[in-house]
Amino acid sequence: MDKVSFTQMKDGTREDYEFLTAHEIDHTKHTAQRLLKALVELDQGLSGYQITRLGHSLQSATRAWRDGADTDWVVAALLHDIGDIYAPYNHDEYAATILKPFLREQCTWVVQTHGDFQMIYYGHHLDGADPNKRDRHKGHPYFDDNVTFCERWDQASFDPDYDTLPLDFFAPLVEEVFARQAYDPAVIRPGAREPLTDAKVAASRAA
């Protein structure tokens, strides 16, 4: 079988759906490669900054790596703007939806809401914008994590002179994350918090 027999889902057979399930499982194994390709395609999107959108993503991840962040944080930093091309009005939610089955809840929430937190840096320059938009999230257990994420990695990563690591450096981390079992409780760990920075790990990576 290379195609199902039905033209309406309600007419499908067990054989059809077993075939599709196997086909879809194989397809998911290549998610990491598709995301890495999509990162490169970010450079077809918004311009005007001193570095490209891909450059910003790589620089954010590089800063996270050099801060001693764990794999979940580094991949979150790398992919936090992956929705810029396809979902310009809710790119943060788009990215979080992609990451949600494979990253710690803490990281997914930060990615999902980072757009609100970034407003603190530029909202006062735009008519009708609320620079304190992040305040709607006050009291959330990951609020301070998002403040740190934006301050150290996101808003700081537009520097053309920064020594940014290449995409090939981060590809194995992306492969590792998307090879995980989706929604594995041992990965998602609702309520768990891991630090964004680790001085000892950072020192070992700088050595």
Smallest CA-to-CA distance from 159 within 33, 22, 30, 60 is with 60
Q: Say if residues 188 and 99 touch (Cβ distance below 8 Å).
A: no
Residue type at position 71: T
pLDDT at 86: 87
Residue 206 has φ and ψ, to the nearest 5°, of: -85, -15
166 contacts 55 by C-beta, under 8 angstroms: no
- Per cent of the chain over pLDDT 70 is 99
Q: Is the pLDDT of residue 46 over 70?
A: no
Sign of the four-CA dihedral 199, 57, 153, 92: negative
Outline where the chain has alpha helix (H): 14-28, 31-41, 53-66, 71-79, 91-99, 105-122, 143-148, 167-178, 185-188, 199-206
Torsion of CA 138, 144, 146, 150, to 10 degrees: 120
From the list 63, 67, 68, the residue with the least C-alpha distance to 51 is 63
Reading the block at residue 101, the tokens are 């089955």
Among candidate residues 109, 172, 171, the one with its CA nearest the CA of residue 146:
109
| CA separation for the pair 20, 26 (Å, rounded) | 10
Domain locations along the chain: 30-206
State residue 109 phi and psi, 5-degree precision: -65, -40
pLDDT in tens, 104-146: 999 999 999 999 999 999 999 999 999 999 999 999 999 999 9
Structure tokens at 112: 């999902």
Protein fold of 30-206: Hypothetical protein af1432 (1.10.3210)
Judging by beta carbons within 10 Å of its beta carbon (0-12, 13-18, 19+), is residue 45 exposed, middle or buried?
middle
**Mean confidence (pLDDT) of the chain:** 94
Residue 187, both tokens: 């990965």
User: pLDDT of 145-203, one tens digit each?
Assistant: 999 999 999 999 999 999 999 999 999 999 999 999 999 999 999 999 999 999 999 99
